[in-house]
Amino acid sequence: MQQPAVPELAHTTTRPIHWLATAAALAAVVAASGFLQPGAATAAQPEPRTPGATARAVAPPDPAAVHFPVDCGPVELLVQKKASGDLDGDGRPETVAVVRCDAGSGTPPSGVYVLIRPRGADKPRIVATLVDPKDQFSVTDLAVRDRAVTATLAGYSSDAVPRYRPDVHEQAKWQWRGGTFVRSTPAGAHSV
C-alpha cells in the first residue's frame, strides 16, 4: 500500500468535539454581545452656540412656575400630566402640561398647554392652548415624540351623559407647522 504524500492533518477530520467547541465559542460571543450594547439614542438637538461659548443643557420649562388660565374656585389646580421635548426644532425643549381642577368627585375637564422658557427669562410662559377646558375633554394619555404631541381625549356626546362616564374617546396629534400647532388624528386612531 502506498503512503499518501501529505500526512493526514487533524483539522481536516471533524469530530463531535470540534462541533461542541465551535458551538460553545459562538454561544459565548452571542452572550457577550448582549452585555455590550451602545448607549441610548437621544433626539435632542444641540443649542446653537456663539463662538467661544460652552455648551450647556437647557432644562424643560417647569409647569409649577406657570399661572394657568383655569378658574378652579376654592379648589387647587392640579398638573395632572406633563411631557417635554423639542417641538419646534430650535434645540430648546418645550413642556406640554395637562392641568385640571383638583375636584373631589366627577371628571373635571382638562386643559392642555405648551410652555416655553424664553431665552434669558427665569419663568416659563404659555405659548399655545391645545385643549381648552371649555371643550369639556379629559386627557387620559399624553406623550411627546418625534416633535409631536399625542393625547387621548375623553368627552361627552350630550349633556345627558353622566360626567363620570365619558362616551366619546378621541386620539389627537399636534405638530408645529408654519408658526402654529396643527391638529390631526394619528394614523390608525379610531374615535368611539
Mean pLDDT by runs of 10 across the 192 residues of the chain is: 49 64 67 54 43 63 95 93 94 95 84 92 93 94 96 94 89 94 78 48
Tell me how far apart the alpha carbons of residues 63 and 125 are, in angstroms, rounded to a whole number: 9
CB atoms within 10 A of CB 63: 22
Contact 145, 86 (CB under 8 A): no
Position 56 in a domain: no
Contact 133, 121 (CB under 8 A): no
Q: What is the pLDDT of residue 33?
A: 58
For the entire predicted model, the pTM comes to 0.68
Position 53 in a domain: no
Position 38 in a domain: no
Q: What is the pLDDT of residue 40?
A: 42
Nearest to 77 by CA among 95, 100, 54, 110: 100
Position 4 in a domain: no
Position 15 in a domain: no
Position 25 in a domain: no
Position 163 in a domain: yes
Q: Number of structural domains, the chain?
A: 1
Position 14 in a domain: no
Contact 147, 89 (CB under 8 A): yes
Domain carrying residue 128: 63-184
Q: What is the pLDDT of residue 45?
A: 42
